[in-house]
Amino acid sequence: MLAEVTDAAAPPDAASTGPELFVLINPGSGDTDAQERRAVLERVFNEAGRRFRFVALDGPWDLAQASEVACSLAEINKGIVVAVGGDGTLNTVAQAAWNRGCPLGVLPQGTFNLFGREYGIAQDLETAARALLNAQPEPVQVGQINHRVFLVNASLGMYPQLLQDRETFKKQFGRHRWVALLAGLKTIFVWRRQLALEIDLDGQRTLLTTPTLFVGNNRLQLERIGMEAQVSSRVGEGCLAALIAKPIGTWTTVWLMLRGAFGRLGDAEQLHSFAFRTLTVRALRMRRMKVAADGEVGVMTPPLRFQVAERPLMLMVPRPEDRAPVE
């Protein structure tokens, strides 16, 4: 089904207020109803005299197609595509925006919203929408795993399984942080698989066994879990950060999870972290692997190449006076 584009009311001279906005609202993200969010945005944009259109979605499954439609319209009309949702929603829309080179505005409405928080975008929808009206496009670093863009992180092994379990729990108990924690504990106590990997880092190949490989592109997240400063400080400056766990048991994994919650992972001897620009991963006994990118889980065929994308994403970043404090 083709995505429906809805013209919204705006004053005749609205062209002078800034580029037109093409807005996608993911009905599956956040705690508030999509219609309620739409009403808030209509009010804010109309009050400002800003031209805007909604690109309608039938559901989360329609997001990729709708993103292509919105980015095509933004490219033709020299406008801005606006994503309303959590990090997974932003990832899908960012992929289309990055492919076409059009600017992206984000209005975070998920559970963690790490991407928006890093760039000072408010978590309150109305506040973020008002800041977007005066935001300026800035180039920001994004990561890639093969040809897929990621904004916050990408991972293999136990972490993608944790995300799948978290989504299952959220469908049963709602989108709350305690639900995410409960799902994480369930994954840890059930997970037994170790990945046998060959990694190529700057021309040096290493064989290793690990329950999970985590790659970060979000300095805020890495600082919160306590990654070493000499590694996390290079993220966003032309490097990504990798975190690899040694083969460990269930209770050690729980202990590491608690250390991460208190920002103490950096000095854990069971983990190895490093910054890089390009990292190639081959699986020794697997033809297909589950891969998570910004909370969305898919399947890819190795080898997997993690790298800083060759060009940045143009993100609409709030002016300094409109930026929200980091929470």
Read off the pLDDT of each residue in 84-106 and give the average, rounded to a whole number: 95
Calpha distance 253→243 (Å, rounded): 14
Q: What is the DSSP letter of 155?
A: E
Segment 144-160 shows an average pLDDT of: 88
Distance from C-alpha of 101 to C-alpha of 173, rounded to nearest angstrom: 39
The whole-number pLDDT of residue 228 equals 87
Cα separation values, 299 from 145, 160, 243, 296, Å: 12, 10, 20, 10
Judge whether 137 and 314 are in contact, CB under 8 Å.
Answer: yes
pLDDT tens digits, 20-31: 999 999 876 555
Using DSSP, state whether 230 is helix, strand or coil: helix
Please compute the mean of the pLDDT values over residues 198-203 and round it to a whole number. 88
Percent of the chain scoring above 90 in pLDDT: 53
| Range(s) of the chain covered by CATH 3.40.50.10330 | 4-134
Q: Which amino acid is at 179?
A: V
Place of tokens 């990798």: 242
Residue type, 254: V
The answer on pLDDT for 266 being more than 90 is: no
CA-nearest of 294, 311, 259, 62 to 160 is: 294
Please state which CATH class domain 149-308 belongs to: mainly beta
How many other C-beta atoms can be found within 10 angstroms of the C-beta atom of residue 27?
A: 19
What pLDDT was estimated at residue 264? 47
pLDDT level of residue 4 (50, 70, 90 thresholds): low
**CATH class of residue range 4-134:** alpha beta
Mean residue pLDDT across the chain: 83
153-200 residue pLDDT tens: 998 887 666 665 566 656 665 665 655 665 555 555 555 577 889 999
Residue range 272-318, pLDDT digits in tens: 889 999 999 998 878 899 898 998 889 999 999 999 999 999 999 99
